[in-house]
Amino acid sequence: MTAAIWTILGVYTLAVAGWWVRHVLLSLPPLSGLVVEPGGDSPSTTQVTVVVPARNERHRIAPCIESLLRQGAEVGEVIVVDDRSDDGTDGLVRKVAGGDSRLRVLRIDVLPPAWSGKAHACHVGGQAAESAWLLFTDADCEFLPNSIAGAVDYAEGHDLEFLTLWPRADHRTFWEHVLIPLCGALILYWFPPFRANRSGSRLSYATGQFILIRRSAYKQLGGHECARNAIIEDIPLAKHAKEAGIRMRAALGAQIVSVRMYSCYREIRDGWTRIFIGALQRPWKLVWSVWSLIGGSLLPSIGAPVAAMWILLGGWPAQQPTQAAFLLLWLHFFAVYTVSYRAWGLCGCDRRYLVLYPVSCLVVGQILVRSWWWLVTGRPILWRGSVTGVHAEQLTKDPPRPPVE
């Protein structure tokens, strides 16, 4: 029995050591030059077409368009693809632009079969673009001054054809602060830059909030055709780009762009259910994510305070296995919260909400279980009035699912 207990403690020691290794991994982006900064004041000669897919975005698209039109001469045109909106998105965009000739609004009235809405809108905008570089972004993003010039300089300086950036978080409500940082951390866990950026790795990653791609590379891919019926369009696009040999990189862009993805619990729950299914794509990955939250985060969050209370009430335990377990719990607790503190800081999240980290784990775990259930049951995913279909890699094997209301 004692040997079994020590074996379990040995395995637990390795798990705790894994958390401390994450401190090293969090230090890699700045040390490896994976932080993109705004450009200087000198005008750039490189032209960029910014494509913004928009479906009923009247309530939040204005800051995005304003920040894009405030960029320098490198932004040659801004194409807003109005994807079947019925809330006056197109009229608001034109009003915000104030007659700026760089703005173009393309209207989509009918979604073709076997296409998801956002992928099709991106494809339409990409085909209409004429600049050397294309930037695909979302209506909930806002760009800092000279940020696009800085991103283009970075891409050209590193001889890249495809650059995607992790944005800065713009969280304002309780559930945004509590849930979204942990959801993003789980995606970072599965798509670490040090693996996704290796040309020899099969892992690839992109976020649709910032995809900067050379127009020649985009044409080589056939536009967003490769992600036409994917649940999310960004990671399938990155997957096909890496398979095509396109030089690509994922980096930190907190000084380039900020994003406010969702504003209430229901939006966060539904949005991240879709993202988890589209990004992870395998039931076992969702199960492992739930288990990692329970064993990797909830266990020390609860166990370390219980161990401290035990000692305060009953003194230091006499049994060596119990002593070792207590020490490991405290080391685990300290590692989890210091790693999370640093990770939250990378994207500008409010670290004060780490005091509610156990609540974050429980609620995000519930979202993961919901994602797992939807994935294994094949439930159609309704997002903003459209049903998304199969994963991008299934398109060559299976016909697209018909829309289900």
List pLDDT tens digits, range 319-364: 888 889 999 999 999 999 999 999 999 889 999 999 999 999 999 9
Confidence (pLDDT) at 2 = 80
- Tokens linked to 86: 């019925």
HSE, CB side, 13 Å, CA atoms: give it for residue 32.
Answer: 16
Confidence (pLDDT) at 40 = 74
Confidence (pLDDT) at 31 = 78
Confidence (pLDDT) at 141 = 97
Confidence (pLDDT) at 41 = 67
Confidence (pLDDT) at 391 = 41
Confidence (pLDDT) at 4 = 83
Confidence (pLDDT) at 394 = 40
Give the number of other Cβ atoms within 10 Å of residue 73's Cβ. 13
Q: Which domains does the chain have, with CATH numbers?
A: 34-173+191-264 (3.90.550.10)
Confidence (pLDDT) at 390 = 44
Calculate the CA dihedral of residues 205, 125, 83, 228 and round it to 10 degrees.
-50
Q: How far apart are CA 38 and CA 142, in angstroms?
A: 14
**What does the H/E/C string look like for the chain?**
CHHHHHHHHHHHHHHHHHHHHHHHHHHHHHHCCCECCCCCCCCCCCCEEEEEEECCCCCCCHHHHHHHHCCCCCEEEEEEEEECCCCCHHHHHHHHHCCCCCEEEEEECCCCCCCCHHHHHHHHHHHHCCCCEEEECCCCEEECCCHHHHHHHHHHHCCCCEEEEECEECCCCHHHHHHHHHHHHHHHHHCCHHHHCCCCCCCCCCCCCCEEEEHHHHHHHCHHHHHCCCCCCHHHHHHHHHHCCCCEEEEECCCCEEECCCCCHHHHHHHHHHHHHHHHCCHHHHHHHHHHHHHHHHHHHHHHHHHHHHHHHHCCCCCHHHHHHHHHHHHHHHHHHHHHHHHHHHCCCCHHHHHHHHHHHHHHHHHHHHHHHHHHHCCCEEECCEEECCCHHHCCCCCCCCCCC
- Does the pTM surpass 0.85? The reply is yes
Q: How far apart are CA 288 and CA 254, in angstroms?
A: 29
pLDDT digits (tens, 9 = 90+) for 159-172: 999 999 999 999 99
The rounded radius of gyration (Å) of the Cα atoms in the chain is 23
Confidence (pLDDT) at 383 = 67
Q: How far apart are CA 246 and CA 220, in angstroms?
A: 9
Confidence (pLDDT) at 81 = 97
Confidence (pLDDT) at 200 = 87
Confidence (pLDDT) at 44 = 66
In this prediction, the residues of the chain whose per-residue pLDDT falls under 70 are 1, 41-45, 382-405
